[in-house]
Amino acid sequence: MNQQRQAHFLDAIPFEPDLPGLIKRLRIRPESAEEREFSQLLDTSREIARPRAVFLTAYITSQGENWVEVAGYRFDSRVLRVNLDGVYRVFPYLATCGMELQSWGDRLTATSGDPLLQYWVEAIKEAALFHAVRAVTDQINQLAVPGKTASMSPGSLADWPIEQQRVLFALFGPEEQRAGICLTESMLMVPTKSVSGIRFPTAVDFESCQLCPREDCPGRRAPYDSALYESRYCATTGLTE
């Protein structure tokens, strides 16, 4: 099975948070005492944070109508199967803000109990996760040239339920767990600011949000397209055997 996958570790990702951007996003008044407090907090976090990521180059080993097997691990999703039609190599990935920042934030918020501090800490963890995701996406895109890539994550659509996180984590062996991400019984990832998914080469732009009708989602990356499932993913769509 090892010949069907190779691991790549990114454990020296620089954390250079955008202070003005964060201040604007958190609606902190410029030149205020709050701004100075937040700036000090960010400086401390910069010393501590170790965002990390790990990804695999892995090969499709089998496929059916509504499932696809990657390096021997079966994923049940019609949308993933159609998106991977004609693709032979994919890039499963895990990215995280890092356990160092998680522990630092847990200690701070447990001792202070201040909801504003908790909000700021979560924003800093998100910024570190953003750095990890950007780093892993850049690395994968370099390997996947020429052409573009897209990503899907278990749980982002009803078609690919969150329980499939177990399969994704099983695909990453114990060695790859050195990225420091754990999956709990309830399918939550720890550190809490972590993401998982499979990135793949694609000829057409794809975001799960195109198939997700959820309204007022702050994370939406593309408009909902109510006709897309029918036109691209329904059972009558022709697939490669």
Is 49 a binding residue for ligand SF4 by CB under 6 A? The answer is no
Cα 64 to Cα 57, 59, 187, 237, distances in angstroms: 21, 15, 26, 13
Is 216 a binding residue for ligand SF4 by CB under 6 A? The answer is no
Output the CA torsion 70→158→154→58 (10° steps).
20
Each residue 104-143 as x (binds ligand SF4 by CB under 6 A) or -, in order, gives ----------------------------------------
Cα 12 to Cα 52, 67, 73, 137, 192, distances in angstroms: 7, 35, 29, 15, 20
Is 219 a binding residue for ligand SF4 by CB under 6 A? The answer is yes
Helix axes 115-144, 33-48, angle to 10 degrees: 50
Token couple for 94: 């895990």
Is 220 a binding residue for ligand SF4 by CB under 6 A? The answer is yes
Size of the site for ligand SF4 (CB under 6 A): 8
Is 209 a binding residue for ligand SF4 by CB under 6 A? The answer is yes
Q: CB 222 → ligand SF4: shortest distance, Å?
A: 8
Is 217 a binding residue for ligand SF4 by CB under 6 A? The answer is yes
Part in contact with ligand SF4 (CB under 6 A); list of ranges 26-34, 117-125, 188-196, 215-223: 215-223
Token couple for 161: 């339920």
Is 20 a binding residue for ligand SF4 by CB under 6 A? The answer is no
Residues 57, 224: Cα–Cα separation, whole Å: 30
153 phi-psi bin (left φ>0, alpha ψ -120 to 50, beta other): beta
Of the CA atoms within 13 Å of residue 106, those in its CB half-sphere come to: 10
Part in contact with ligand SF4 (CB under 6 A); list of ranges 25-33, 135-143, 158-166, 206-214: 206-214
Part in contact with ligand SF4 (CB under 6 A); list of ranges 86-94, 122-130, 195-203, 214-222: 214-222
Q: Which of 27, 30, 214, 227 binds ligand SF4 (CB under 6 A)?
A: 214
Is 97 a binding residue for ligand SF4 by CB under 6 A? The answer is no
Is 156 a binding residue for ligand SF4 by CB under 6 A? The answer is yes
Question: What b/e string do you get for 11-30 counting C-beta neighbours within 10 Å, with b at 16 or more?
Answer: eebebebeeeebbeeeebee
Q: CB 171 → ligand SF4: shortest distance, Å?
A: 22
Q: CB 84 → ligand SF4: shortest distance, Å?
A: 18
Q: CB 42 → ligand SF4: shortest distance, Å?
A: 26
Asked whether the beta carbons of 13 and 135 are under 8 A apart, the reply is: yes
Residues 46, 125: Cα–Cα separation, whole Å: 11
> Which spans of this chain sit near ligand SF4 (rule: CB under 6 A)?
156, 208-209, 212, 214, 217, 219-220
